[in-house]
Structures are given as C-alpha cells and as structure tokens.
Structure 1
Amino acid sequence: MGERLHLTRWQVGRLLKEALAKGIVRIEIVHPRARSHTLETDLVERTGLREAIVVPSDTDPATTRQAVAQAAADYLADLTTTPRTLAVSWGQTMSELARAIAPSWADGVTVVQANGGLSRPGPGDPAAIITTLARQARGSTLFLPAPAVVESPELAAALLREPSIAEVTGVARGADVLLFSLGAVTQESVLVQSGCLSLADVTHLLAEGAVGDAVGRFIGADGAIVCPHIDARSVGLQLADVAAARLAIAVAAGSAKHAVAEACVRRGLCHVLVTDEDTAVELGRRFIAAPIS
C-alpha cells in the first residue's frame, strides 16, 4: 500500500494513527461466537421477526446489558440504508448504546426524542443519549421538551397540542428508524427515580398486569395498554405509532425483560429484536408453548 501511494512505512503508520484517533478507521477483533446465529435464525422462524440479534449472556447482568447495547449500536451503524431521521427512546441500556456507538457511524442524521424526558436528572438521561448519537453521526438533535408522564391526562393532551411538541412527535412518527429499549415495571425504574411515576403508580400498573413498557407505554402480556389513565398522562409516541414505525428496533437484556420482550414481539411492536442468549432461549420456549397468532 505504501509503495502504491508513494508513502514510507512511517508515513502510513502516522496516517493510520490519525485515522484511528478521528474514528475514520476501526480495528476490531471479532470472536466467532460473538453472536449466536443459530438462536437468531430460530427466533426469527418462531416469532416472525424480520431479524434477531443475539449475543452471549453473562452471569453479571450489567455485563449482559453492555454486550446487548454494543450489539444494538453495531447493528444501527451497519444498516444497509443509513437513516436520515432516527427516533429514540431512553433508559440505561440506551445510555450504554450511545456510549458504544462508533464515531462517524453515519453522516447528517437527525436524532429525535420519541417520548418525553425526565422530571429531574437521573440515569438514562435522554439529552445525553440524543446528543451523543447525533454528534457521532455529524447530525442534529430534536428534543421533546416535556416530561414522559405528567400529572393529568388534560395536561398531557394540552402539551401534545402545543406546536413545538407536536412538531417533534410528528418528526418522530415519520422517522426512518425507531430505536428503543424495553423497560421493566419496578420501583427501581428510571421513571420512578426521576419522579415521573410514583410508587403508587407502579403498584397500580402491576395490579393491572403490566409486564413492562415500550417507548414509555406500559403494556400487558398481550402487548396492549394496561392502564388507560396512566397512558393518557404520557407524552410522546402512541403505541399505535410504535406499531406503525418503518423500522422498529427493540433492545432487551436480562431476565427482567423476558415478559415485556415477549409482549413486544407478539404485538408486532418491533421488526428487529436485539437481546441476549438467555432471553432468546426463553422467548423460543414461550413461542413453542403459545405460537404467535
């Protein structure tokens, strides 16, 4: 290569070093077992997903979550057609995905917030996620200036009619790709820690049969909304918008996400699922016991 470009070995080395520093070039060692292709094929056949990305599970839940987030970041960066608009939800897994995304993964992408944010700072900060994804794509950001869940349905409806918020949700609704992580219903939820939901709300959701949330919308085992009153207090894309997305990529890691991952797939809320081996095996078992309709 040096001879063809009339460069010395030293010059080639210096250029490669600069390219690595700027993110133009990446050097990776990809282990042949980094993805479980047999499980991926099996999951697609059983569930009707367009695609499944499955990575090894670890005994440490945090390590598993990081591996799934990295796999989702790689999948996004490797899409055949780079999205011009990317709608994203937020959470701890999405934070790790943003940190894992490759520099210059795309060029000129508009990253838009798919649902409202946090009432106060907490883990999974949407601003940091959106800003990082856009910066690494030399793109722009579009934020949704409202909490994920507000005090009343009337307030939520008024916010959604506000022109600046309506514009953002409109862009998110028409995005080329919708990317979101699935959340569990627990007292440790980011929505609870941030003050968007109360412990009483969590208790009520569990009593109504909620198994988790997709883009801030709490669903039951059948993938339908479980508590219309709380759903009416939510600001962002509706569940119907998620189901109608051009390409919806759901990310789920760990045993706490088994039920919500199943519900998401059964309801057709995602085209692609990025997950870990244990979750994939469990979903395969559940879809054998109760095939998709």
Structure 2
Amino acid sequence: MATSLRRRTAGQVSGESIVIEAAWMYYHDGLNQTEIAKLLQVSRATVVNYLQEARERGYIRISLAPEVFTSHQLAQDLREKFGLQAAFVLPRGKGTEEEALMRVARGAADWLPSLLAPGDRLGVAWGRTIFEIAEAIEQTKISDVTVSQLVGSMATPYGFTAEICSAHMAQNLGAKCINLHAPAVLSDPDLAARLRDEPIIRRQLDALSHCNKALFAAGSCDPDSHIVSSGLASRADLDWYVKQGATGVLCGRFIDAEGQAIPGALDDRMIGITLDNLQGLEVGLLVSEGNTKVVPMLSAIAGGCVTHVVTSNETARLMLEAAG
C-alpha cells in the first residue's frame, strides 16, 4: 500500500496545518492516535476528526499495488478462461449497488495510468462508470498521450455528457483531448451522413481509427438500460434489436452473443466509433459490475474488443459460471 500527502500551499490557515501535521504523524511516522494526541496536546477524538478532515479535503491519497487485484485466483481464472491480458478484480463489499459501482470505478482509475505509455491514443466512451473513472483518476502526466471521445454527445438527465468524460480524463492524465463535436444520434440518416462528411467531424472520426487503446463499459439490453435512459435509442429501437439477437451494447452499438455488431437503422443515424475500430487494440479496457452486466461483458469479450477487465469478485464468479 502506498500513501502520499499533498503539500500545504502558502496561505493555508494554521488549522489546516495541524490537520496536515496529524496526518503526517499517522500515515508517515506510524504513530497511533493516542500518541499523536499526546504530542499535539489534544484529545484522541480531536485527532480522529483531524484525520477525517484530511481525507475529506483530499490531503490523503491511499492506493494498493495493482498486483493485489490482478494476481489472485479469480483474476487469474478470468484471464485464462477468456484469453485476457489481465483482469483487475476487486471485492464487492457488503454495500449497495451504487457503492459497488464506485469501488470498481475507483479500481479502474488506479489501474489505468499503469496501462498507458507515451504516445498512446486512448479512446474514451461515456456513461456513469466512465464518468466516475475520469473523476477518480489522480492527476498525472504521461507525455504525448491523446484522449479521443468515442461517442457523440446528447442531452441526458445525468449531469454529465460524453465530452465531459473525455475532457476530464484528458485533464487528469495531462493529455491532449479530441472531442467529437456532434450529436451521438440524429433523427435523419441523410443528415447524419452529411454531418459525418463535414471536414471537422471527419477529422475527429478519423482520429478514432488511430486509437491503440480504449476504455469502455458494457451496457445491457434491459428496458431500463443506459442506452434507452440516455436517449440514444428508443424503447422501440431496443425491442427491435433484442429480437435480432442483441445481448449487449458497446459504445452505443448493439452486439450479439458473439460480440458481433447487429446492423440496423440506428447505425445510419449514429455518429461515433464503429465496432471494427475497437477490435484488436493493444488495450481494450472493459469496466463493468453487476448481474445485469454479465452477459453484455461476455459478449464484448467474445467479439475481440476486450484485453483487460475491471470488475468485482461477485461479477467475476458469475461470468465464469455463465461461460461454463
């Protein structure tokens, strides 16, 4: 486990200084709360409050070595069963589905920088999981990295959009960002075709074909799935694709159990990466968690888009059971 403390900046008040002092003694000097209380001449309860405040203010950064999550048995079983380069499997815990999602997103945020190298072109999808990963990544700097938005934008009730996901990811990685300045879906296929032919959009779409790594989540085909609630597809669209054999959604594209794209009218109205550009990448990082994501995750893996997976131990077990 690694722990770091942010340095106190000029102008911070003395109250913040004692919080940092308490945090340093606890995390770096290895003193217990009673010993710190004695040295600072405060109560033990006050020291507890100082440490809590340090965490809330972001002064404390604690991380576990990736090997803890990639080398245990479940991670190895996933890697061997599905031919992955690596799997990062976290304990789900006893919390809510929301807490499980946040835990998996934080794990992906801790692991992703180690999967990147100078010169990489990282494609970033969108959705709640991707947004939380982008927000959780500690600021770092990897030279000559470019982040590209994989799916066009749309108005949603979630408080974030696709361009926010890619922009925040780029900001935290110290990378260049190429946003896709177009809607994810239009009502008219001819209009979508003309928009794809616009020089600025054509250049942005061309950049997607040069991505060597990508980050995405798997979407379900349930009635309350993200692809419907986001407005990317209607319930009628969903029903039609399910009848054609759809088992999941990847970057807005419906896929079958073999991970192959299901052609349909929606494709002609979409602006974003196509599945052929997600296949065979150096890194295809799939981050998903939950019972409803098992089949979509297996479908994405079968389609050759996935080299790395981040999930919970519960979901990993369900994936192995489903695969037989």
Residue in 1 that maps onto 2:163:
127
> Are residues 158 and 80 of structure 1, via their aligned partners in 2, closer, same or farther at CA, if it must alter by over 3 Å?
closer
| Post-superposition offset of 1:57 | 1.7
Higher relative contact order (CA 8 A, sep 6+): 1
| Post-superposition offset of 1:56 | 1.3
Indicate whether 1:28 and 2:62 are aligned.
yes
Residue in 2 that maps onto 1:266:
302
> Are residues 80 and 117 of structure 1, via their aligned partners in 2, closer, same or farther at CA, if it must alter by over 3 Å?
closer
> Are residues 64 and 105 of structure 1, via their aligned partners in 2, closer, same or farther at CA, if it must alter by over 3 Å?
farther
Q: Which moved more, 1:216-225 or 1:56-65?
A: 56-65
> Are residues 31 and 272 of structure 1, via their aligned partners in 2, closer, same or farther at CA, if it must alter by over 3 Å?
closer
From 203, 208, 225, give the equivalent of 1:167.
203
From 64, 74, 85, give the equivalent of 1:50.
85
> Are residues 143 and 91 of structure 1, via their aligned partners in 2, closer, same or farther at CA, if it must alter by over 3 Å?
same
How far, CA to CA, are the matches of 2:108 and 2:141 in structure 1? 13
Q: Which moved more, 1:194-203 or 1:214-223?
A: 194-203
Residue in 1 that maps onto 2:264:
228
Gaps of 5+ in 1: 1-9, 289-293
* Contact preservation (8 Å) 1:92, 1:123: no
Residue in 2 that maps onto 1:6:
none
How far, CA to CA, are the matches of 2:104 and 2:323 in structure 1? 22
| Post-superposition offset of 1:285 | 1.8
| Post-superposition offset of 1:67 | 1.2
State the SS of the aligned residue for 1:35. Answer: helix
Alignment of 1:57-72 (within 5 A): 57-59=92-94, 60-72=96-108
Length-normalised TM-score, structure 2? 0.75
> Are residues 61 and 34 of structure 1, via their aligned partners in 2, closer, same or farther at CA, if it must alter by over 3 Å?
farther
From 135, 152, 167, give the equivalent of 1:116.
152
State the SS of the aligned residue for 2:317. Answer: helix
Amino acid at match of 2:92: S
State the SS of the aligned residue for 1:221. Answer: coil
Alignment of 1:61-100 (within 5 A): 61-79=97-115, 81-82=117-118, 84-100=120-136
Count, aligned residues:
273
How far, CA to CA, are the matches of 1:109 and 1:26 in structure 2? 27
State the SS of the aligned residue for 2:62. Answer: coil
| Post-superposition offset of 1:30 | 3.3
| Post-superposition offset of 1:48 | 0.7
Where do 4+ consecutive residues of structure 1 move more than 6 Å? 31-34
Deviations 1:146-173 (A, max 9, x none): 2222223333332222221121122122
State the SS of the aligned residue for 1:111. Answer: strand
State the SS of the aligned residue for 1:166. Answer: helix
Identity %: 29
Residue in 1 that maps onto 2:289:
253
Indicate the RMSD between aligned Cα atoms, in angstroms.
Answer: 3.0
From 153, 167, 180, give the equivalent of 2:216.
180
Residue in 1 that maps onto 2:276:
240
Alignment of 1:200-219 (within 5 A): 200-219=236-255
Please say which structure displays the higher CA radius of gyration. Answer: 2
* Contact preservation (8 Å) 1:107, 1:137: no
* Contact preservation (8 Å) 1:34, 1:56: no
Amino acid at match of 1:131: A
Amino acid at match of 1:103: Q
